[in-house]
Amino acid sequence: MCKVSICIPTYKQILYLRWTLESVLAQTYKDYEVIITDDSPDNSVANLLAEYNFLGKLKYFKNSVALGSPENWNKAVSLADGEYIKILHHDDWFSSPESLGKYVKALENSNHLNFAFSSSMVLFGDGRNWIHCPNDNQLSLLEASSIFLFQSNWIGAPSSTIYRNNFESTLQYDPTLKWLVDIDFYINYLTTTGQTFKFIKEPLVTTYGANQRVTDECKDNIKVELFENFYLYHKISRGKYKERFRGHGPKNKVLFLQLLNICSSFNVRRVKEIRRVGYEKRIPFLVIIFIIISYFSSRAGKAYLILMKRILHE
């Protein structure tokens, strides 16, 4: 058994995939396998792979029917034999030849660690870039509970993570989700495995902020964002994870405030707007009150939101 399974779910875009593959081959740490699951409607990925020699480390699987995201991610992970799972999307790549070794070292230093993540360099096609890196306060909140990720994704893209492969676990990326799928997985994995993690400040991966990514299709899309925020709220608050949350503790405050913020950002004025995007479960009373007030007066709705933030100690 190898130490790391580098899982690369692919869908065309071979220009970026070439960068991904070359960054893998450049790694100084060599105890890995490469698993590629291909959703492409053509042979472009297979043809590109023929140009490279992975010395028997490559496992290539062409999906007979396109699985889509994130089912294709799950397919790659399900085929992994390594002790650790290293997701690397086909348009992301290792920032340096030492990146994989540093990810492995983060988990190898403690038998109690199951999950690690690094900062990441976000690169745009026009040359702009920025580093995705949580601050000390965000890391402190994450150490207290991964539920605080519902407030914002401080971890980053799946390509910035590495985690221990639990071969008997049913932990997967939820196929119902697109926009919050990574946050959902992080919360699920961390609550299940004990909330421990290692953060590596160095940006070990580069993620490409190109067009036609799934995130571009989801961002500011009310049908996606409104539904997924309420859907994830329900999973967390109704005990779908190992932790359960009762009363109005700080974790529940995070959930309520996020729902209030998302309703405010999309100017939700009627409960049926939430139902229209497909969410059929319980809506928190605080959110219903906000919607009713906002229906009669947007100014009053904003005042209610400010008041709730103060009461809930945002």
Residue 120 pLDDT > 70: yes
Taking residues 180-204, report their average pLDDT. Answer: 92
Tokens 């910035």 correspond to 160
Looking at 3-12, 103-112, 132-141, which range is the least confident one?
Answer: 103-112
Write the burial class of residue 29 (CB in 10 Å: 0-12 exposed, 13-18 middle, 19+ buried). Answer: middle
Residue 149 pLDDT > 90: yes
Taking residues 225-229, report their average pLDDT. Answer: 96
The predicted pLDDT at position 246 comes to 45
Rounded mean pLDDT of the chain? Answer: 88
Looking at 147-161, 164-178, 252-266, which range is the least confident one?
Answer: 164-178
Tokens of 129: 């870039």
Domains, the chain, with CATH or none: 4-216 (3.90.550.10), 220-311 (no CATH)
How far is the C-alpha of 246 from the C-alpha of 248, rounded, in Å? 7
DSSP 3-state of 58 = strand
Residue 244 pLDDT > 70: no
Sign of the Cα torsion 93, 98, 103, 104 reads: positive
Residue 217 pLDDT > 70: no
Residue 214 pLDDT > 50: yes
Looking at 40-49, 122-131, 210-219, which range is the least confident one?
Answer: 210-219
Looking at 157-161, 206-210, 246-250, which range is the least confident one?
Answer: 246-250
Selected residue with higher pLDDT from 236 and 125: 236
Taking residues 60-74, report their average pLDDT. Answer: 94
Residue 212 pLDDT > 50: no
Q: How confident is the model at residue 1 (pLDDT cuts 50, 70, 90)?
A: confident
Report the percentage of the chain scoring pLDDT > 90: 67
Residue 248 pLDDT > 50: no
Torsion of CA 73, 66, 178, 221, to 10 degrees: 150
Total Cβ atoms within 10 A of residue 26: 14
Strand runs labelled E in the chain: 4-10, 32-38, 58-62, 84-87, 92-94, 115-123, 129-132, 161-164, 198-208
Taking residues 98-106, report their average pLDDT. Answer: 97
Taking residues 56-60, report their average pLDDT. Answer: 95
The predicted pLDDT at position 168 comes to 61
Angle (CA) 277 254 232, round 5°: 35
The predicted pLDDT at position 242 comes to 47
Residue 177 pLDDT > 80: yes
The predicted pLDDT at position 195 comes to 75
Residue 92 pLDDT > 50: yes
Written as one letter, the residue type at 174 is D
Q: How confident is the model at residue 210 (pLDDT cuts 50, 70, 90)?
A: low
Residue 311 pLDDT > 70: yes
